[in-house]
Amino acid sequence: MAVSAILYDGQTAARQIVIVEAYATKLDIRFEDGRHDSVPVDELTRSGKDGGAVRLGREGHEGWRLILPEPLPQAFVDILPTGSRYGGFIDRIGIAPAIIVLAGITALILFGAYASPKLVAPIIPPKWEENVGDAMVGDFGERRCRSDEAEAAILSLIDRLDPGEYAMEVEAAILDLDWENAAALPGGHIVLFDGAISEWDDPDAVAGVIAHEVAHVRERHVTEALVRELGIGALIRLFADDLGANAQAIMGLSYTRENESEADDSAIRMLERAKIDPRPTSELFDRFAEMAGEPIFNGFLDSHPVSADRAEQFADSYDAERSYRPAFTTTEWAAIKAACSD
């Protein structure tokens, strides 16, 4: 049985409508212009669900994404990689043993949360965070700018910055809010505010900030900040779906200077890997440093404390002998700029 699906090929930000058929060892993809592509099932990776759809990636094809509507025909269910029900850890050992293990984790959290959030954060299952993050992004509702082209452009950039397979997939969204900010949320979600896109007019500077937020996700800084600032009681209520009481607090989480230094170091490595010029990010942080003494409402400085040497660190990573590539194509950047005006 064939189904209609959405494909991003990783080469452009274009959204393509395709027809997909499932066979024993492959998916056959038929394009509107008559072309065909045969994708071996063992190259497919499952990156979760998004609004009632299954999202697939393809090993060795940066930025490639296939979005299939649910419910899937049985022929697809039988051959596609499976997603986790509770999270990889629980799925592997079973629900009963997991309860015992998680009880021990809870005791450890209660003992160590106030003493060392950095030690507690890595042992909190990513699936718990994902449930919170999914609910938060869903709650933005009409504030979320629905532009497949813009989100695909940002995800393609993230694949350049941070390729590889991780337990927590990074998802990106643009919000129609006039805040000069970007934020990493629980569960691997990164949100970029339209006010930031308008003010930070250099796409390479935006790429630097996105790399910084991806680093916060990878280093589990969001979880660490949750433990440190909300307290263990609120954290347990949060993971038990009491989102409303703490959503505003989550948006206001701030990071320690150690967190910021780690995220900067990782962001610089990501920009080097993606061959993106770090100087626009340096100039943006210079601007932040100048604004550090000014009252800024909902600004980047509210959640990301600055120090005088951060801009210099990015500037020093510039290599005059290196050949740099733009973070986005002209078409991709235009889609991002227009995301909230469509």
> What phi, psi does 47 have (nearest 5°)?
-110, 20
State both tokens at 76. 């697809």
pLDDT per position as a tens digit, 123-133: 677 677 777 77
**130-158 per-residue burial string, b: 16 or more CB within 10 A, e: under 16:** bbbbbbbbeeeeeebbebebbbbbbbbbb
- How many Cβ atoms sit within 10 Å of the Cβ of residue 163? 12
Q: Cβ neighbours of residue 84 under 8 Å, at least 6 residues apart? A: 90, 91, 127
Helix intervals (H) in the chain? 74-79, 88-93, 95-112, 117-120, 126-139, 148-161, 194-199, 203-218, 221-239, 247-251, 257-274, 279-291, 300-303, 310-316, 330-337
- Higher pLDDT: 207 or 177? It is 207
Can you tell me the distance from the alpha carbon of 22 to that of 142, in angstroms, rounded to the nearest whole number? 35
Mean pLDDT value across residues 251-263: 74
Question: How much is the mean pLDDT over the chain?
Answer: 78
pLDDT at 232 over 80: no
User: SS3 of 19, please?
Assistant: strand
Adjacent-strand bridge partners of 69: 53
pLDDT at 248 over 50: no
pLDDT at 52 over 80: no
Question: What is the structure's pLDDT at 299?
Answer: 45
Reply yes or no on domain 2-83 having CATH 3.30.390: no
pLDDT at 233 over 60: no
pLDDT at 250 over 80: no
Can you tell me the distance from the alpha carbon of 161 to that of 106, in angstroms, rounded to the nearest whole number? 34
Can you tell me the distance from the alpha carbon of 185 to that of 297, in angstroms, rounded to the nearest whole number? 19
Question: Rounded to the nearest 10 degrees, what angle do helices 148-161 and 257-274 cross at?
Answer: 90
pLDDT at 249 over 50: no
Question: What is the structure's pLDDT at 205?
Answer: 94
pLDDT per position as a tens digit, 296-337: 434 444 445 555 578 889 999 999 999 999 999 999 999 999
